């Protein structure tokens, strides 16, 4: 046991791999570090000991936040020097026989290794904190009325009702009003927010949370908790000395923590309150939460339950390790293979040892693995996945799929199990002519038609009771969750969608079209995302509280595309008119939509592009564009019109595309020249380039056909030069449910993820380090579902 640390590169290896490192590098001297674990002595709390503190911060694994599983063990360290290939052991206190110079160098290296911060310690420094807030844009220009109001240090009451808790001081006019009413009837009577709607005064501070260190400040205009660097000055305007104030009420973070612990969704999805049977062995390895990393844990547990990913990374482990670069910590294949081995070998999925004997943890919590190097590598350079903030599991799934694409290139690609072709049909309503295009996708995004809920009467009754309770200031009734049939979601997916301002090449003018989406191929594994997360009328992200009874077996054969039919007439393939240098007329952009997006925190140039590329179609279309293109390398670059060379643009069509983007398109089966052309035509935007290449595939085919070498027939040239397109697997559209990932919480930016996977005809729940047989898998509350094709 233990770990062998190379005294030259400081890379660590297990016993089975240290010899391979020696053979590959010739490095002979290693520090062997072994820790022997023993149970901590029971510390029975006496009556005088303080009780365990409740969480006070919306954070995980940091001071005041939610605790990670408590460490139950103490460790004894054993250190020695090992010389390879002889495996000669030299105890740390046995260096006296060496030359002084050698002894000093080895001793210094040992000291440096033993005192260095580990990767886990460096992760702790970046531990996630859900309370990070931005400075309000009103903080430095807040208007404060000279109305003579002075606020006493205590004894506050809402000026419009009798509430004495959850009170907010408006920092413009000094009004003291109660806060919002929560879904369960607690909170206030909405008087503070109603005052904002009447006056437009944006900032309020929660009375009872003011201390010398700060206070809860809310911006109604920005609809978020914010920071006010001038808080002391703003409070002093109303006679409040924050240095003398003490905390007397719960902060908003404390209230949110309490709420999260009460929401029934958490209990259902985690199967709390039931004694679940712990599972151990290959394929039942838990993953430690590295600080809000449950989204990553859930996704990789599912992926490494799929044979193609096992074959690619686990079965070829030795070959991958042999071909790894000198620094394997930065090699994608090495880190993915290491992760897969950790999950599937069974070496890290064992009951805890106690006095040399294995003891079952009745809660199913095991040591598991901590994939810190993997998380660091896949998140490197990404504005979100490089942090310890909560993320959307669907976005991480696509991010990881994209990294696999980049690193597979011409080799075996496990992504093929998910890849399918989408057929989009556009029908011009003025001419009845049609246009067919195909594009690659990996996820079927299923809309949720709330109007199709089966329990409409109960929902209406609940809304009425809720309204009455709010009027009478009574606790709200028990929450009623909408029950939407899965068939209604499928019908909504397949229904035609109206496209306004569609450029019809048949008319050579704008028209209205109907867009119909179908499958051009069916993948081996169908990934379905339930579109639970949406935006309200005020553009605040929200989650639909909905139950959808997902079928164990699914047949989507009816959604297979048909292609151009004999009775249909295709639109002519003519490019729409573009703005050229001879027509430098700037487009008229809807400034109100741009302002709305900018106020949500997006860059001005990105907002201008969103409005331009969606043809002034409104805030919703522009917001969708922003959300779809946030990862583009040119996302925040100035808008450059087609054919122009606008100043200030850092990425223009004259700049070479990135090799990563080229490699991604080439991995789909296209040639390098075609990838370069697509990227240049879309200003080096990878996502738009993929759309472009599929919508111009006929043009690419024609160009390839013209490139005929002398002495060869056109047929020979075309067959050799035109790629087959992206490699997809096709088959029957009949599937069975294989796994699903569930989310608990109010938005993708907070909460918790777990996954359920069907193994050996039984459901298993993976909740970070906890792996157990599932008793009641909540299949109706999932977020991402994985279906496996039923063999014909």
> Residues with catalytic annotation?
294, 752
DSSP state of 135: B
Contact present, 130 and 150 (Cβ < 8 Å): no
Residue 740 to residue 527: CA distance in whole angstroms = 9
Contact present, 717 and 707 (Cβ < 8 Å): yes
Q: Which residue has the tokens 């935006």?
A: 535
Structure tokens at 483: 């029950």
475 exposed, middle or buried (CB, 10 Å; 0-12, 13-18, 19+)? Answer: exposed
Question: Which residues have a Cβ under 8 Å from the Cβ of 69 and sit 6 or more positions away?
Answer: 365, 769
| Residue list for the binding site | 158, 161, 168, 178, 180-183, 191, 218, 220, 223
| Residue list for the binding site for Zn(2+) | 158, 161, 178, 191
Backbone angles phi, psi at 289, to 5 degrees: -80, 115
Among the residues of 497-590, which ranges form H helices? none
Handedness of CA 78, 81, 85, 88 (dihedral sign): negative
Phi-psi region of 648 (alpha: psi -120 to 50; beta: other; left: phi over 0): left
CA distances from 553 to 395, 550, 565, 741 (A): 26, 9, 31, 17
Strands (E) in 17-111, as ranges, are 29-39, 73-83, 88-91
Residue 743 to residue 752: CA distance in whole angstroms = 6
Q: Which residue has the tokens 């067959």?
A: 719
Calculate ∠ Cα 763-766-772, nearest 5°. Answer: 60
CA dihedral 513, 702, 439, 617 (to 10 degrees): -40
CA distances from 750 to 264, 270, 386, 389 (A): 16, 16, 16, 8
Q: Is the peptide bond before 567 cis (omega within 30 degrees of 0)?
A: no
DSSP state of 764: E
Handedness of CA 183, 187, 188, 193 (dihedral sign): negative
CA dihedral 600, 603, 606, 611 (to 10 degrees): 40
Question: Which residues have a Cβ under 8 Å from the Cβ of 540 and sit 6 or more positions away?
Answer: 223
Q: Of 239, 162, 167, which is closest to residue 205 (Cα–Cα)?
A: 167
Q: Of 424, 527, 544, 439, which is closest to residue 483 (Cα–Cα)?
A: 544
Structure tokens at 126: 């970046």
Q: What is the 3-state secondary structure (H, E, C) of 445-507?
A: EECCCHHHCCCHHHHHHHHHHHHHHHHCCCCCCCCCCEECCHHHHHHHHHCCEEEEEEEECCC
| Residue list for the binding site for substrate | 168, 180-183, 218, 220, 223
Q: Of 215, 245, 244, 249, which is closest to residue 230 (Cα–Cα)?
A: 215
Strand partners, 697: none
Calculate ∠ Cα 676-682-687, nearest 5°. Answer: 90
At residue 423, the 3 state secondary structure works out as strand
99 exposed, middle or buried (CB, 10 Å; 0-12, 13-18, 19+)? Answer: exposed
Question: Which residues have a Cβ under 8 Å from the Cβ of 482 and sit 6 or more positions away?
Answer: 450, 453, 455, 459, 544, 545, 546, 547
């Amino acid at each position: 046991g233990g770990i062998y640390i190379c005294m030259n590169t400081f890379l660590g290896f297990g016993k089975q791999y240290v010899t391979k490192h020696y053979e590959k590098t010739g490095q002979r001297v290693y520090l062997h570090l072994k820790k022997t674990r023993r149970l901590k002595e029971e510390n029975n709390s006496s009556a005088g000991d303080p009780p365990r503190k409740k969480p006070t911060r919306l954070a995980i694994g940091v001071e005041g936040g939610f605790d990670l599983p408590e460490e139950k063990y103490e460790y004894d360290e054993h250190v020695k020097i090992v010389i390879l290939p002889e495996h000669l052991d030299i105890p740390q206190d046995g260096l006296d026989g060496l030359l002084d110079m050698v002894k000093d160098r080895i001793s210094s290296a040992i000291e440096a290794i033993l005192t260095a911060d580990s990767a886990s310690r460096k992760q702790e420094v970046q531990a996630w904190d859900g309370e990070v807030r931005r400075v309000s844009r009103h903080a430095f220009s807040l208007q404060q009325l000279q109305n003579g109001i002075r606020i006493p240090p205590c004894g506050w009451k809402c000026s419009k009702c009798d509430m004495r808790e959850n009170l907010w001081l408006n920092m413009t006019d000094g009004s003291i009003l109660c806060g919002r009413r929560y879904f369960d009837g607690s909170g206030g009577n909405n008087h503070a927010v109603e005052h904002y709607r009447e006056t437009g005064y944006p900032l309020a501070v929660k009375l009872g949370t003011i201390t010398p260190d700060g206070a809860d400040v809310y911006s109604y205009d920005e609809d978020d908790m914010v920071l006010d660097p001038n808080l002391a000055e703003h409070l002093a305007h109303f006679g409040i000395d924050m240095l003398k104030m003490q905390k007397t009420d719960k902060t908003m973070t404390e209230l949110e923590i309490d709420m999260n612990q009460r929401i029934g969704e958490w209990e259902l999805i985690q199967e709390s309150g039931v004694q679940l049977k712990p599972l151990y062995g290959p394929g039942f390895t838990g993953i430690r939460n590295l600080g809000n990393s449950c989204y990553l844990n859930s996704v990789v547990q599912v992926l490494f339950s799929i044979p193609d990913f096992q074959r690619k990374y686990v079965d070829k482990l030795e070959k991958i390790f042999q071909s790894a670069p000198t620094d394997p910590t930065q090699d994608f294949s090495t880190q993915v293979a290491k992760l897969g081995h950790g999950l599937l070998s069974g070496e890290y999925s064992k009951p805890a040892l106690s006095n040399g004997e294995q003891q079952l943890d009745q809660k199913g919590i095991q040591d598991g693995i901590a994939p810190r190097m993997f998380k660091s590598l896949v998140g490197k350079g990404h504005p979100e996945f490089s942090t310890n903030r909560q993320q959307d599991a669907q976005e991480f799934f696509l991010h990881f799929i994209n990294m696999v694409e980049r690193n597979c290139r011409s080799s075996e690609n496990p992504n093929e199990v998910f890849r399918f072709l989408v057929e989009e049909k556009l029908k011009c309503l003025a001419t009845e002519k049609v246009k067919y295009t195909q594009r690659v996708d990996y996820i079927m995004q299923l809309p949720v038609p709330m109007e199709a809920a089966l329990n409409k009467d109960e929902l209406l009754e609940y809304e009425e009771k809720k309204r009455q309770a709010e009027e009478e200031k009574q606790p709200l009734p028990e929450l009623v969750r909408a029950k939407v049939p899965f068939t209604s979601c499928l019908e909504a997916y397949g229904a035609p969608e109206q496209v306004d301002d569609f450029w019809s090449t048949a008319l050579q003018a704008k028209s209205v079209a109907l867009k119909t989406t179908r499958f051009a191929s069916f993948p081996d594994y169908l990934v379905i995302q339930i579109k639970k997360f949406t935006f309200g009328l005020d553009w605040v992200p929200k989650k639909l509280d909905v139950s959808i009874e997902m079928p164990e077996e699914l047949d989507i054969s009816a959604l297979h595309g048909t292609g151009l039919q004999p009775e249909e007439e295709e639109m002519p393939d003519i490019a729409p008119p573009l703005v050229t240098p001879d027509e430098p007329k700037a487009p008229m952009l809807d400034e109100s939509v741009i302002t709305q997006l900018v106020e949500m925190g997006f860059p001005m140039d990105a907002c201008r592009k969103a409005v331009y590329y969606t043809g002034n179609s409104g805030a919703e279309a522009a917001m969708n564009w922003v959300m779809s293109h946030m990862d583009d390398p040119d996302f925040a670059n100035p808008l450059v019109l087609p054919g122009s060379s606008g100043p200030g643009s850092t990425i223009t069509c004259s700049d070479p595309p990135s090799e990563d983007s080229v490699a991604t398109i080439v991995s789909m089966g296209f040639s390098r020249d075609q990838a370069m052309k697509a990227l240049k035509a879309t200003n080096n935007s990878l996502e738009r380039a993929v759309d472009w290449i599929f919508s111009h595939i006929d043009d690419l085919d024609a160009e390839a056909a013209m490139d005929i070498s002398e002495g060869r027939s056109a047929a020979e040239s075309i067959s050799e030069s035109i790629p087959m397109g992206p490699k997809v697997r096709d088959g029957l559209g009949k599937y069975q449910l294989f796994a699903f990932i569930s989310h608990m919480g109010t938005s993708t930016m907070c909460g918790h993820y777990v996954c359920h996977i069907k193994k050996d005809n039984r459901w298993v729940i993976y909740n970070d380090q906890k792996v157990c047989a599932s008793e009641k898998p909540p299949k109706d509350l999932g977020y991402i579902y994985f279906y496996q094709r039923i063999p014909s």
